[in-house]
Structure 1
């Protein structure tokens, strides 16, 4: 791959978003994870996996958030926040852990550079994926969202988030796994 090749960012493939027992579990996660594995294989060593960790300051609006979702108010090493088994071998890099919905920030730019080409996939389309896509595009990154490799909280919320991200061309483009893999 060339130096300007895209980075695949796999957003939050964690038990809390995958488990059918979790209030935040997405029923679309298994299908998205299969596509994520295909994308990771195609991106080689340019794969970054992120994790949402609940360590934000409770004196801010995060306090009210965790009051609304007490099941998630656990230590970051709680099994809820572990990567799903299928995600553990996607990259040899350590995870980029952030206590924010969006994963765009200094930890990610330290790896990708300040204005990279990013390919985003993961969960949840209507929360962490859209938050990452908009912030990265706003900072000057070129963002491609692989819509069928994302899992939303519901089909309607997934579609709504995809619609909003589709309003930002040329900074954000939308594609599907097969199209991305056949284009190069």
Structure 2
């Protein structure tokens, strides 16, 4: 693990997709590890105060693109954006004073997020799924020049093996991406 920026140095905490679709054991995309990450996510959010952003994946992508085939493969997720599948889990309520950043993409890095955290800004990532939306966000943010810390024990993968594989891949990108535990981030190292 590497040194991580602390919660008071202008860094933003980005909580990726703490939604029913990724947390429920009834969902084909539910992470069996999500519930154990929420207390760490809550502690991080408390420490970051007003510098917390929460994202939601929304099924609003253009079906004429490869997203059309994606939704054919995963028809259970092809629901209106108002479906309760896309609601935040109750434990995520109040994590941020801001409205959720709702995007139809796995990766959440883009003009919307960059306009908030700033060009070359510092972000700390937590949430689900390590092997999809967290990974996609971390790589795109690093590629755009952001300074990224992934809180490995505040991310939940689809499986333990997929979580470990995604963490391994993100660990190949220092110094743009660093890996830390919640305790390390909270200690401000």
> Which one scores higher on RCO, CA 8 angstroms, separation ≥ 6?
2
Q: 1:46 aligns with which of 43, 51, 74?
A: 51
CA distance in 1, matches of 2:131, 2:54: 18
CA distance in 2, matches of 1:44, 1:157: 31
Deviation at 1:109, TM superposition (A): 1.3
* 3-state DSSP of counterpart to 1:9: strand
- 2:50 is aligned with 1:14: no
2:173 corresponds in structure 1 to 168
1:178 corresponds in structure 2 to 183
User: What TM-score comes out, normalization by structure 2 length?
Assistant: 0.94
* 3-state DSSP of counterpart to 1:8: strand
CA distance in 2, matches of 1:129, 1:167: 15
Q: CA RMSD in A?
A: 1.0
- 2:42 is aligned with 1:37: yes
Deviation at 1:182, TM superposition (A): 1.5
| Structure 1 residue ranges without an equivalent (≥5) | none
Q: Deviations over 1:48-70 (max 9, x none)?
A: 00000010011111000000000
1:76 corresponds in structure 2 to 81
The within-5 A match list for 1:35-184 is 35-183=40-188
| Number of matched pairs | 183
CA distance in 2, matches of 1:37, 1:183: 16
CA distance in 1, matches of 2:105, 2:154: 21
Deviation at 1:174, TM superposition (A): 0.1
User: What TM-score comes out, normalization by structure 1 length?
Assistant: 0.97
| Structure 2 residue ranges without an equivalent (≥5) | 1-6
Deviation at 1:110, TM superposition (A): 1.8
CA distance in 1, matches of 2:185, 2:147: 15
Deviation at 1:115, TM superposition (A): 1.3
Deviation at 1:183, TM superposition (A): 2.5
CA distance in 1, matches of 2:188, 2:13: 15
* 3-state DSSP of counterpart to 1:183: coil
Deviation at 1:88, TM superposition (A): 1.4
